[in-house]
Structure 1
């Protein structure tokens, strides 16, 4: 000991001896001098978690100081509640000061625990840092799989692959399966394999049933499942090929087929069944059994009636899974009469269709005639109750012909027929609906609606133009065209004459010539313009002398010149003017037979037909005249079939087509001088503004009820 501390040590000893002297007055208890001033141990500030399992945790703690009394016990205490003490669970790991490590075990997997280090001496128990831990689940990870092509009607092979094995020994592995998507109830199949990848054959399944399956693994800590998957069992039945009809007689037919697969049980029976009705089965049809097993087989359908159509199917199967069938085929037994098939209608265009048939068998004698018969009302047309046409039989046994004058939008019942010395037979009825007379163009006119008859229209090769017109509160000068090539409307440059109605437009070459009209103040005009179609450009044409200011004048082009017929200014006129395009001059022609405005002026070949307008008093003039030179007019016809006046007109395929005030299409054939009332316009298209022909289709429309055009094919209006 250091010499300088000796006096202090001596004094301390004397003081201690003094305290231990017996007192004459009080009996003090005996106290051990070494712990009189001791305290509970001092613990380290941190507790380290070294390892964690499903049932244990390993920790490291430190007793820093004993604080005057020996540390007789140190360890860890724990509880599922916060702030555990030695009154809860404890485990001792030695005594004394310093660092110590220990493993707390016997825990439950997947639970939260609170753990504290502690140390005990004579003064009591001291606690260190409290740590909250959660034990591992002890479970692993497994994936579910289904073996491809293993599924049968009653069996399947499924399994799992253990990716993480979990803790401890694996007690069982296998698959759960159920017909319920939520796996309740469920069955299981166990695997005897100890490998990480395992298979489980599942037996006793139901055919054509969807099953849900999960791989599972069980250890001491519980069960962990794989992802749920599904499979559908097969029906277990065989697979039969399409059959082949080998030979057909009057009362029998030989057929063949092949059993491609037996399914999930041996083929006990195979054969053929037949009926006069589609889809024959063993339950409703006669049949013939042709052995058992897989592979090709041939049989005879017997006891058949002559000249009957039969449907036949091959079958194969067993009593376990039932029978499967081939796709049906058909044949027609031979007859003393010809056996004939009606061919489908084809090439439906311009009111015509190609119809015909095929001779399957001539019967007991040669075919002497064949053809088709058809009806709009009778579903089984014959030579005696319907229209018919005899056709020429080709060397290949077919006969076809083109039927014309068909009615568009109507349903026809068609049968082929053939005749021999024994009589006439018919094929099956073919039902054919012909194309509609009318077709709506699915593109709206982009301009404002016009009042009936107020715009003017003209046409080029593939375009129909609409110019001006009365919109209601004002007139328009706008020009639009519809193109059959692009199937769209486009707006072009407006007419410089300004907003007008009842103008006259005539096309010649690549231009349209526009004359006259009336403005919103009811003043007629005699302005004359040329519109160049290719460049979308308007040119003013000034010439003197010129026609009077007129509206509702008829216009027509002939021999390279423009002609204007009649019209109305202050009153109706019968003047005819010709404009020589090459000389840019107007020439007065001989007068029209009557004062006249409105109506039509149309050209068929070199002949001009004009008339069907209004007289000076506004009454309808039913007369139509013709001319080849605009000098001499000859009465052509009186239109007795029109109801009221004529709203619009055009030509198509050398005929005139007009629309009267009942919105009925009138056809006039100059070759036969005959009028025919054709179809009436649909209600949405009554209120005509334009009518022009493009590519042999007549376009009508732009009523106030509809902003679309109506395509009319006159070849189907029969």
Structure 2
């Protein structure tokens, strides 16, 4: 019997097919294994300050899990969880994400882990640590106070060191009674950087104040040295009043000179007047410019033949100053209106002079004259009654003796005020 041996011949094409089949099967299995693995980690911690840090994480693969949240948690002990400080983002999102943590305690070691939360569990990744920077309270210096006036000043300060932390507030405490001002005294906040200032108003004049700068960061507050200053006093302007000229019945010209403005610029000047002494700017007044120097003023709406008191004034932030005053009378006006009556008995005449109107001024005197027909003054005059200047219509009775019999005479009554003498009509009579 013949034995037949068959020889298997493998062609190159068969070998290539087998190898491709094996490689394809292996690659598919490896890819399926990658998809089933959750891969995430913290990659870097940066920008660490005294109270903050930035943590970078990367979710490379979510596997077959349905991820609800991804994030980072930190704590002051190892193995932090989502019950500690955390940052999270919602959604099944692959790739890098950044978590910023603030308001951390300074000079403290923290532990950080990434996490993902699924429908059924929370999974944590690698753990890294970082330490926040150490800080101290600031160092601040109170500088000299500037631009001091009667009621204001500018406080100045300088932060010498921020204590390695951001300055959260700065300013000044000040007091006029406490030589070491602090939080319970007056306080003003300031802006600016390391050199800062505050303008203060409403201070009392001629008063000593104490000032202290302060600066605060998250480590606390620091007070600077104490600086004192004294506000200046108010000084009123100095001025004079010019004599009144060009006097009319209702107008006149006056003026004055501001010799010194005092502690503040003169903002208004002029004269004021009234019918009584020491007029003020609440009475009639003029406004004749500002500043130092001489000025001319026009008085108006005056009354004829009336006495007026005039003062120059100057107003500044320190107040209103007045000069010594002057006095003048307007011209014009009315003399008194007078009537006379007569009754002769023998060679004696009984007469009465009555003031019907005082005119523009009070009555100063009342008198009578007796004359012959040639206008010569005759007779002896004596009064039998007095008069009161306050009476609305004062009158005086007279007795005139020493006249001749059977002669014709006349009398005239007189009354005098500041304007002049008023006279009655002639009243004729005859003796028996």
Normalised by the size of structure 2, how large is the TM-score?
Answer: 0.41
Q: Identify the structure with bigger relative contact order (alpha carbons < 8 Å, sequence gap 6+).
A: 2
